[in-house]
Structure formats: structure tokens, C-alpha cells
Amino acid sequence: MKENEEHENEPVDTYKYGRGAQFNTKNKFIKNESTREHIEGIDERIEADVKTQYIEVFPKTIVNKVESPDVGMMYSMNPYQGCEHGCIYCYARNSFEYWGYSAGLDFETKILVKKNAPDLLRKFLMHPKWEPVPIMLSGNTDCYQPAEQKFRITRKLLEVCNEFNQPVGILTKNAWILKDKDVLQEMAKKKILSAMVSITSFDALLLSYDQRNACYGQIL
């Protein structure tokens, strides 16, 4: 028997390791959709992994006024939409439908990167009517998700805030925040920083079951 021949007739594993969602849910804002109802080509290998795509976008604004009374922040900014951490319970999944994508697998595989965010923030802070109150980074998605390691937009936003003495709040699950210790320390000394870290679990066994994501090593 040749090497691997014994596995030839085993069912193809379609589980998407490293992902929270396993399929795309319907976007309620999109009228038409295409679906695959039956998988007939039983000999076809089904792709079990879904690679992350980074999509550059250029929004007109970066700071949002938060109107919701149940969220403890007045303003927020999100350098990325979608979040590769892919927590299945994430409330930001539903907001991803506004961008025309699914709240399921799309949310954690199609990451929108707001390339012009630092320029927009600078313009916003220079507005004569702006009276500094804290702006929350990660109001919707995690600003230290894996995309940050490639694009460093959160870092650039912090540098702008530091320059303008703009108070900032941060909430993250990712240890990558430590890469910005220098600027964060400067801001902390000026008392314009509040940083919160969400720790998934201290239970090593539980964490080993939770290795949904390739970036897990970076998640606290």
C-alpha cells in the first residue's frame, strides 16, 4: 500500500480550522443571493481553509459619534472593519452587513483596511469646533487584530492622538498592543490613555480547545 493510500476513501474534512463561523449567513440588506444547495461532486476536494483577504477602503470619516445609550463611549474609531479574531459571539458581526458582506465567515476573512484613517483623524482633530473628549479605539472591532501587524494603522492613529493630546480608550484581546508600549507610555504619563485588555481564559485546557485562529498565539 502506498503512503497515504489508506486515507484515500476517508470523507473530506470540510471543517474550517482557525475560523469561528463555518459558513456565510444571509445578509438581510441584500435582495439576491447565490447558494450551493447540494454538493454533488463527491470526488471534488472541498477547500477546508479560507484565507484572509485585506481590502483597502477609503472612507470619508473615521470618528463616529456613538448615540447608543447602552455603550459607555461618546466617540469611537475603527481602523479595520471585520475582525480576524473571529469570536463567534461578536456583536460587530451584524454591523458588517452594512458593508455588503455576511456576518458569518466574511466577517473574519474579509478585513476592510481604512488606509486613510490617520489623515482623516488629523483633519478631524484640527476642526475648531472639536472639544476633546475621549475617543474609543476598538469600539466595534479589535484595533490590534492581525491586520495591524501588516498595516500599523492603529499605531499611526495613536501617534496623531499623542501629538494632539487627544484622550483615547483602547480595548483589545491581542498582545500586539505591547508593540506600541513606547507611545502608550507617553500617553499614559499625560493621562490621556485608558487601555483595557480582555483575557479569554486562564485555563490552559480551555484555551487549547479555543485555538480557532491562526493568530491565537497573539491573543491574550
Amino acid at 89: Y
Q: Judged by CB, which is closer to ligand SF4: 89, or 202?
A: 89
| Backbone φ/ψ region at 82: left (φ over 0), alpha (ψ -120 to 50), beta | left
Q: At its nearest, how many Å lie between ligand SF4 and the CB of residue 55?
A: 17
Q: How far is the CB of 118 from ligand SF4 (least distance, A)?
A: 21
Residue 199 is inside which H or E element, if any? none
Among residues 16 and 173, whose Cβ is nearest to ligand SF4?
173
Residues forming the site for ligand SF4 (CB under 6 A): 83, 85-87, 90, 92, 141-142, 173
Cell 456576518, residue? 103
Q: How far apart are CA 68 and CA 49, in angstroms?
A: 37
Q: Shortest Cβ distance from residue 173 to ligand SF4 (Å)? A: 5
* 147, HSE (Cβ side, Cα atoms, 13 Å): 28
98 by DSSP, 3-state: which? Answer: helix
Question: Which residue do the cell numbers 493568530 mark?
Answer: 215
Distance CA 171, CA 219 (A): 13
The whole-angstrom separation of Cα 177 and Cα 64 is: 22
Nearer to ligand SF4, 77 or 162 (CB): 77
Residue number with CB closer to ligand SF4 (103 or 187): 103
Residue 53: CB minimum distance to ligand SF4, A: 16
Residue whose CB is less far from ligand SF4, 106 or 162: 106
- Nearest distance in Å: CB 179, ligand SF4: 17
